[in-house]
Amino acid sequence: MANADPSRRRWPRPLLFALGWVFTALGVAGLILPLMPGTVFLILAAWCFSRSSPRFEAWLVGHPTLGPHVRRWRETGAIARRAKILACGSMALSFVLLTLTPAPPIALIVTAICLIGAGIYVASRPER
């Protein structure tokens, strides 16, 4: 099927498929490891699979452990309060750790802007 806008570049399906598996692995690790977000990576994996392999998208969304996180996001865009606190806390801790490195001021400023934007987005999502 051709794109409606030919100037819009599409990612190759094999790349999206590989990224889907990388994000799935990171999502599983995030569900096990503290302070690492798992749901975000599972949502990204589902997005990659939706554009590269409907079979694996269905597998991920229907998975008894991994699927509910993706389905909840697709249905409501909701993020649980505990996940919001962990996500925003992790971002703040990451920034504090970055300030302890010899990173140049521009890196600190750009990182702060990105993390504040991400934090606002996460905090503004509805809760379940």
- Write the pLDDT tens digit of every residue in 48-90: 999 999 999 999 999 999 999 899 889 998 887 887 888 898 8
As a whole number of angstroms, the distance between CA 118 and CA 128 comes to: 19
Q: What's the pLDDT band for 35 if we cut at 50, 70, 90?
A: low
User: What is the CB-side half-sphere exposure of residue 39 using CA atoms within 13 A?
Assistant: 17
pTM of the model: 0.68
- Give pLDDT, residue 7: 47
As a whole number of angstroms, the distance between CA 119 and CA 8 comes to: 29
